[in-house]
């Protein structure tokens, strides 16, 4: 892609998210979401492959539906209250419609079916943008409106954690596994959204760091299926030895950083007298952990049949820039000892 066009599209994505962040008016928030969606579409179909074009169309139709529902909800709210401000969401009908529209935008279960299909049709870099940056603006709106319908959010959150665990069990494609991982993590965030919003932001930040590390690791290895991971030892032995830690951190295994947000969320749910819900969420994390272990096993404990020449590529100089990967991997593995300090900051 032409670098000037790429710069304009990335700027438009940043602008759309910033408009939504800064807006207190529903029309401006909707406009920011639309700019965000339209800016990523050319990036998604830049390869002109039929699979990428199909994924782009699916994404566009889903996001257009969610945006139309959001606009309808905001017009309904303005009709009832006479106000266009985000803060004036006191009636249940428009609030529920907005919550469902934003759930469709970010891919919460049971409105998740587009997410694995779309991510499977994209390259890993665009998939990373879709899994991280595109979640920011809808999450900002969810945090601002603070939905009063507790049971709806809890149902969406629990369904997402369960679907994210079950859906990834039988997959061989890494991008689909990452999509189901994204759905499961979003479910954890939604469970605690109305009880402890700053903990939701911490979980979102940790998810971004871990997902960035994993996507970049797969991109360096040029891997898109579990079977292709067995070749990674001969290409990048250091990254191959670090990826299991990233995966287990995503699964929430102590003593890695990914355990911290899950631990704090379970603690908060228990404080809110929702111990059965916390138990179900913790059990659903075991499903996710199983397919993370499958990837770890394929990457570190299996070796594909190699000739001597195939076993030597790691000796050649690499043109991959791995400094950001090193930083995010360190954060993914080593943040758990800072939990007391982070908890104190959250409660300020």
DSSP 337: G
Is 184 within a domain? yes
Is 82 within a domain? yes
179 & 282 share domain: yes
pLDDT band at 306 (very low <50, low <70, confident <90, very high): low
Q: How far apart are CA 218 and CA 15, in angstroms?
A: 29
Is 237 within a domain? yes
Question: Is the pLDDT reported for residue 327 higher than 70?
Answer: yes
88 & 200 share domain: no
100 & 246 share domain: no
pLDDT of residue 120: 93
201 & 335 share domain: yes
54 & 166 share domain: no
What stretches of 82-149 show up as alpha helix (H) in DSSP?
92-106, 114-120, 124-131, 133-145
The count of domains in the chain is 2
Is 136 within a domain? no
Cβ–Cβ under 8 Å, residues 183 and 159: no
Q: How far apart are CA 162 and CA 255, in angstroms?
A: 24
How far is the CA of 270 from the CAs of 266, 274, 277, in angstroms?
6, 5, 9
State which of 124, 157, 172 marks the end of a domain: 124
267 & 233 share domain: yes
Segments forming the whole domain that contains residue 225? 149-305+322-347
pLDDT of residue 299: 83
Of 105 and 241, more confident: 105
What percentage of the chain carries pLDDT values higher than 70?
Answer: 94
Is 75 within a domain? yes
113 & 246 share domain: no
State which of 81, 109, 124 marks the end of a domain: 124
61 & 1 share domain: yes
Each residue's pLDDT tens digit, 103-133: 999 999 899 999 999 999 999 999 999 999 9
93 & 172 share domain: no
State which of 80, 107, 124 marks the end of a domain: 124
197-201, 233-237, 247-251, 303-307: lowest mean pLDDT where?
A: 303-307
What percentage of the chain carries pLDDT values higher than 90?
Answer: 60
Residue partners of 68: CB distance under 8 A and separation at least 6? none
Each residue's pLDDT tens digit, 146-190: 777 788 999 999 999 999 999 989 888 999 999 999 999 999 999
Is 310 within a domain? no
Q: Which of 150, 134, 160 is nearest to 34 (CA)?
A: 134
171 & 249 share domain: yes
Each residue's pLDDT tens digit, 52-75: 999 999 999 999 999 999 999 999
Q: How far apart are CA 170 and CA 178, in angstroms?
A: 13
Question: Is the pLDDT reported for residue 348 higher than 80?
Answer: no
Cβ–Cβ under 8 Å, residues 269 and 278: yes
Residue partners of 237: CB distance under 8 A and separation at least 6? 314
Question: Is the pLDDT reported for residue 43 higher than 70?
Answer: yes
pLDDT of residue 320: 63
95 & 154 share domain: no
244 & 118 share domain: no
């Amino acid at each position: 892609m032409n670098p000037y066009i790429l710069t304009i599209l990335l700027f438009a994505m940043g602008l759309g998210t910033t408009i939504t962040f800064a807006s207190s008016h529903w029309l401006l928030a909707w406009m920011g979401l639309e700019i965000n969606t339209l800016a990523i579409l050319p990036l998604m179909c830049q390869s002109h492959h039929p699979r990428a074009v199909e994924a782009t169309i699916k994404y566009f139709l889903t996001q257009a539906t969610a945006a139309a529902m959001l606009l309808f909800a905001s017009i309904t709210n303005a009709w009832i209250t006479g106000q266009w401000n985000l803060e004036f969401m006191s009636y249940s009908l428009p609030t529920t419609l907005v919550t469902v529209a934003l759930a469709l935008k970010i891919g919460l279960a049971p409105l998740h079916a587009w997410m694995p299909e779309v991510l499977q049709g994209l390259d890993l870099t665009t998939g990373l943008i879709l899994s991280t940056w595109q979640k920011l603006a809808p999450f900002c709106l969810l945090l601002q409106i603070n939905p009063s319908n507790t049971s709806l959010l809890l149902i969406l959150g629990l369904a997402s954690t369960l679907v994210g665990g079950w859906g990834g069990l039988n997959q061989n494609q890494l991008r689909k596994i990452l999509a189901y991982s994204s759905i499961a993590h979003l479910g954890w965030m939604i469970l605690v959204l109305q009880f402890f919003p700053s903990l939701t932001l911490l979980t979102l930040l940790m998810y971004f760091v871990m997902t960035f590390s994993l996507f970049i690791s797969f991109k360096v290895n040029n891997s898109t299926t579990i079977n292709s991971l067995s070749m990674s030892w001969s290409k990048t032995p250091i990254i191959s030895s670090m990826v299991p830690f990233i995966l287990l951190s995503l699964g929430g295994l102590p003593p890695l950083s990914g355990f911290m947000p899950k631990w704090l969320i379970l603690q908060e749910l228990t404080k809110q007298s929702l111990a059965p819900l916390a138990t179900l969420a913790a059990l659903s994390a075991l499903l996710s952990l199983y397919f993370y272990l499958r990837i770890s096993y394929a990457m570190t404990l299996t070796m594909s049949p190699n000739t001597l020449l195939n076993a030597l590529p790691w000796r050649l100089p690499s043109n991959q820039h791995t400094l950001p990967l090193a930083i995010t991997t360190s954060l993914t593995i080593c943040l758990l000892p800072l939990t007391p300090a982070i908890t104190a900051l959250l409660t300020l």
